[in-house]
Amino acid sequence: MATEPAAAATAGATATRDEGVRGVPAPGRRGGGQNPALTSGSGGWTIISLDFVHVSVIAWRQRSPTAGRDQRDGCVMSTTSRPSARPVMADVARQAGVSHQTVSRVLNGHPNVRPQTRASVLAAIRDLGYRPNAAARTLVTGRTNVLGVISFDTTLYGPASMLYGIERAARPGYSVAIASLARFDRGSLPEAVERFLGQAVDGIIVIAPETAAVEALTGLAADIPLVAVGCGTRALLPSVAIDNLSGAAQATQHLLDLGHDTVHHLGGPESWLDAKERVEGWRQALRRAGAPEPELLRGDWSARSGYEIGHRLAAMPEVTAVLCGNDPMALGLLRALSECGRRVPGEVSVVGFDDVPEAAFFLPPLTTVRQDFGELGQRALHLLMDRISGEQQPMLPIEPELVVRASTGPAGGRRLPR
C-alpha cells in the first residue's frame, strides 16, 4: 500500500495532521493502527504535502470498484511543477522588440511614443500577462501611478463623457480614483483635494464646469499638481477646454448661411461656464452678420426644459431657427414644435450641442456640434504630466465640429441656389 512509503518520505516535510484538512479523513499515524477512513465506505484519501519541493502525494485505496474505474489498489501521484516566473518588463521589451525604457514610457502614458510602437508594446503586455508590480515601482520612483479625478454627481452627457475620456487616456499607465461630489463649493472641493493628497496620488484632475468650482480651485496652493477640465477657456488655472465659443459661432453661422434672418438661442444655466461661452459665440456670430439679437432663453439642460420653452417658441411665428445649448434640450424642443404643428426643418431649423450618441436617431436626425471628449482626456493627462514634472506649457482649446444632419434647412423651406 502506498501510505507507508509516503509516510516515510515525510522526514523534513510537512504532513497533514488530524485537524489539518477540513472535510478530508486524516491519515493513520505511522506505526499505529489503520485509520478507519481508509477501511470504511467506498474508499479513503490520504494527503501529504511536501511543501519544500512542491510535491503532493495522494494515496487512494479503492475498496469497492465500480464500472469505469481502475479496479487495482494503487497510488496516484501528482507532481505540481513550480509556477512559471512572473513576466517582467524585460520580457515585454524582448517580445515587442523595443527597449525597456520604451515599455516604461508606454506604461506611464508618455505622449512621445509612436502609435505603432505603443500598439506593439500593449500587445506584448496582453500576450505575456504582464502586470507591473505597483508596490515595487512606488518604492523605486516615489510615485503611486494613481490619479485622482473629482467630478460632481450628475448624469449629464458632457461631464460624464469627460470622465470617461480621462479614464481611457490614463490607461494603461495609471489607475484612476474618483471622488463624486454632490456640489462644488469652497468647503467640499478643497476637502476632496486634501483627501486625494493624503492618499499620495500623483496628480488630480477636476471636472469643473460651474463658476463655483473654479472659484474654489483658485484658492488652492499653486504647487498642487492639479488640472481642471470643462471650465471654459478663460479660467485662471491650468486647464483644458473645448472651444464652446467657436462651436456656437459655427452653428449660428450655419443657420444664417441657410438664409434665416436671425437665430434664437435656448441656453444652459447661467452658472455653467460652457453655457456662458456658447451664449457669447452665438452673440458674436449675430453681430458679425448684422443680424438682430433675440431675447436669450435659458433652460436647465433637460429635455423637459427644452419642451416647455419650445411651446413658447412654437407660438412665435417669427422663429425660424433655434440653437440649443445641448442635445437633450433640442430633443424637447423638437417634441414641442411637432405638437404645435411647426415642421422641422420646413418651418423651423434646430441645432443642438454635444452630439450625443442618440442625436442621429432623433426625428429628424439632429444637426449638432460634436465635442471630442477623447482628445480632452488626452490633453488633460498630458498637461497634468507636465505639471508633475515641473513644466509649464500652454494648452490651446479643442476645436469642436459642426455635424450637419436633417434638422436644419433653408429659411421658409425654399431651395438654396447651387
Low-confidence ranges of the chain (pLDDT < 50): 1-82, 135, 138-139, 418
Domain boundaries defined on the chain: 3-79, 85-132, 244-371+401-413
Pick the CATH number of 244-371+401-413 from 3.40.50.2300, 3.20.20.30, 3.30.565.10, 3.90.550.10: 3.40.50.2300
- pLDDT score recorded for residue 235: 84
Q: Residue for cell digits 479496479?
A: 71
To 10 degrees, the CA torsion angle through 152, 272, 147, 378?
130
CATH class of the domain whose range is 85-132: mainly alpha
Average pLDDT over all residues of the chain: 80
Domains 85-132 and 244-371+401-413 share a fold: no
Distances in Å between the alpha carbon of 284 and those of 3, 293, 330?
92, 10, 21
Angle at 414 between CA 411 and CA 418, to 5 degrees: 105
Query: For residue 62, with 0-12 CB atoms within 10 Å meaning exposed, 13-18 middle and 19 or more buried, which class applies?
Result: middle
Of 307, 312, 308, 313, residue with least CA distance to 330: 307
